[in-house]
Structure 1
Amino acid sequence: MAPTPSSGPAPAGPPRPFGVGVIDTLVGFPQDPATLYRQIRASLRDKESREDFAMPAAYMFHDIPDSHVPDDVDPVGLVLGEMDRHGVDVALVSVSANPEVAGRALSEHPERFAGAWTCDPNTGMDGIRALVRAHERWGIRAAAVMPHGTLPQVAIDAPQMYPIYAKCVELGIPVFVTVGIAGPRVPSMVQRVELIDQVMYDFPELVFVMRHGGEPWTELAVKLILKWPNLYYSTSAFAPRYYPPEIIDYANTRGPDKVMYGGYFPMGLTLDRITAEFARVPLKDDVWPKFLRHNAARVLGLPDGGSSARP
């Protein structure tokens, strides 16, 4: 049974699917796509991607939310309003993508936003020091890496990644890593799911969260999540109707504590669409609270009373 979808005007108080306030492990702030996707654009070669797409994976999405925010609209307030409408208590946001806006969100609304820092393994120790500064300044709850989006690309198990993994263990934070075939039209073999096996062997204390699907290797992803205690899966960048069936079956059987919700607002999906499509997801009633909140709270080290802390 799926939560009742919400749409239209907000009810008297935020919705709480299955009595919990949602933790969304991938939310952004509207900003200029040229700035947001500058690094990945340097890798694109096909004419359509370079000249026509505002977002590098635009061919995969319909009705992408508007990235333009009028000067008189506060992007933090806009995102908070959408979160309130859809029962999202806490959003994990990238500080590195927009330090001014995300930093303000974390400072002014620490109970509603958690910070992540995207690392570039090509920057060596400078990148590690930037991660540490972000942790000290904003109290970030996670690191993130996009192997396909680095230039040059760096594989999940490459030596350049190991200092990032080691620092995450030292700081006590998880790393969210994009896995599977990349949406942008760049090579994807650096994101083969099989590469995670070596990383988890070398870093048994590392909490590793797979992002962006892992397709077409989702069966292997399930095998590895079952094998490694600290390996998790986030549904980020997928509309709920397209959640891989192998992942849903695993969450309903042996893995209710290992799969967590991640959206993609406003980069590719609206919260209206995501919430409406939850009704298509055949998760069991007792799995939904874990998927929507409890698993992410545990991985990110967030307070988790079992339901929304907001009035």
Structure 2
Amino acid sequence: MTSGPDPAALTAIDVHTHAEVSADGHGSLSPELFGASAAYFKTHTERQPTIPQMADHYRQRRMAAVVFTVDAEHATGHPRISNEEIADSCAEHADTLIPFASIDPHKGRAGVREARRLVERYGVRGFKFHPGIQGFFPNDPLAYPLYEAIEELGVPALFHTGQTGIGAGVPGGGGIRLKYSNPLFVDDVAVDFTELRVILAHPSFPWQDEALAVATHKPYVHIDLSGWSPKYFPPQLVRYANSLLQDKVLFGSDYPVITPDRWLADFARLDIKPEVRPKILKDNAARLLGLA
């Protein structure tokens, strides 16, 4: 595994960014779902930076970024962006980019073999799951062999939780069922895989209290703050980030739908203790990702 970015040289670590387009122009989602996401976040459908462009964006800001795609081939039929391509591209910008992978849990043993290869040969540092798009409950036994491998490899598993802008406004929500993204289903995963490092992505609307309960109860469950401007954070999330969860909350933007500039500008106006701010922006992520 490569050493990755040097935390001492960074102002922040963004643990949640998306590779939306491959080098040959293939999108990570269908045009219909991309369009729904763009409308939801009030962005432009042409916003799809390449990985080298993402590296430039974060390097200029002296930040590091975790980069991943979503493999949802089983549920959507849409071919994914190659995990190997993302890992190789991040390796070319190892001073600022950190590769995660995404494997559809429906791929069974093939997915387990891929996970091991990606960590051992490509330096992947974690795995992204999006239960709503991938069409599975996080506590479904079909995913357990994959979790077992990820736990053994010693890297984190990041789960989308709460509502998603992907499919919003499309008839039937683009086939995406929100029920899969209740963080309480990840609580079962934390019980059954006691050493697995878990990240609950996003303020988990409408299950924010459930996410806080899981993160305070299970020692290796973290929360990232991506996908929402901090000015919209629920008050209980801010309260817990300032206190009980100050060592387990992570900066994430959801770039490119939310830029780190916008997120950080709003975060600066949030009532966060001075001693907690650097933990959220960098220190917690550096420790979790093995960069510290």
Q: TM-score, normalised by structure 1?
A: 0.77
Counterparts in 2 of 1:122-133, with a 5 A limit?
Answer: 122-133=106-117
Percent identity of paired positions between Structure 1 and Structure 2 = 28
Match of 1:228 among 205, 215, 218: 218
What is the distance in 2 between the residues matched to 1:106 and 1:273? 24
- Cα offset for 1:246? 1.8
Equivalent position SS for 1:297? helix
Check the 8 A contact 1:147/1:190 in 2, yes or no: yes
Question: Which amino acid in structure 2 is aligned with residue 252 of structure 1?
Answer: N
Counterparts in 2 of 1:193-272, with a 5 A limit?
Answer: 193-266=183-256, 268-272=257-261
What is the distance in 2 between the residues matched to 1:99 and 1:55? 23
- The reply on whether 1:93 has 2:67 as its aligned counterpart is yes
What is the distance in 2 between the residues matched to 1:278 and 1:57? 23
Match of 1:300 among 275, 289, 292: 289
Unaligned stretches of 5+ residues in structure 1: 1-15, 42-49, 70-74, 305-311
Equivalent position SS for 1:27? strand
Counterparts in 2 of 1:2-21, with a 5 A limit?
Answer: 21=11
What is the distance in 1 between the residues matched to 2:144 and 2:185? 13
- Tell me whether 131-140 or 165-174 shows the greater mean CA deviation: 131-140
What is the distance in 2 between the residues matched to 1:240 and 1:64? 21
- Cα offset for 1:59? 3.3
Check the 8 A contact 1:141/1:300 in 2, yes or no: yes
- Cα offset for 1:280? 2.6
- Cα offset for 1:114? 1.2
Check the 8 A contact 2:225/2:253 in 1, yes or no: yes
Partner of 1:179: 161
Counterparts in 2 of 1:62-101, with a 5 A limit?
Answer: 62-64=42-44, 66-67=46-47, 75-88=50-63, 90-94=64-68, 97=81, 99=83
Q: Deviations over 1:224-281 (max 9, x none)?
A: 1111101110112222222332221101111110100111112x12233223222232
Question: Which amino acid in structure 1 is aligned with residue 264 of structure 2?
Answer: T
Q: Deviations over 1:181-226 (max 9, x none)?
A: 2333221111112212222111111111101321111112111111
Partner of 1:160: 142
- Cα offset for 1:99? 4.5
- The reply on whether 1:118 has 2:102 as its aligned counterpart is yes
Check the 8 A contact 1:260/1:296 in 2, yes or no: yes
Cα 1:161–1:290 change in 2 (3 A) is same
Q: TM-score, normalised by structure 2?
A: 0.82
Partner of 1:3: none
Check the 8 A contact 2:137/2:180 in 1, yes or no: yes
Cα RMSD, aligned residues only = 2.4
Cα 1:228–1:54 change in 2 (3 A) is closer
Equivalent position SS for 2:58? helix
What is the distance in 2 between the residues matched to 1:194 and 1:68? 32
Question: Which amino acid in structure 2 is aligned with residue 168 of structure 1?
Answer: I
Q: Deviations over 1:140-184 (max 9, x none)?
A: 11011111111xx11011111211211111100110011122333
Partner of 2:74: none
Unaligned stretches of 5+ residues in structure 2: 1-6, 70-79, 168-172
Equivalent position SS for 2:159? strand
Question: Which amino acid in structure 1 is aligned with residue 140 of structure 2?
Answer: A
Partner of 1:277: 266
What is the distance in 2 between the residues matched to 1:177 and 1:276? 26
- Tell me whether 179-188 or 133-142 shows the greater mean CA deviation: 179-188
Partner of 2:90: 106
Count of residue correspondences: 265
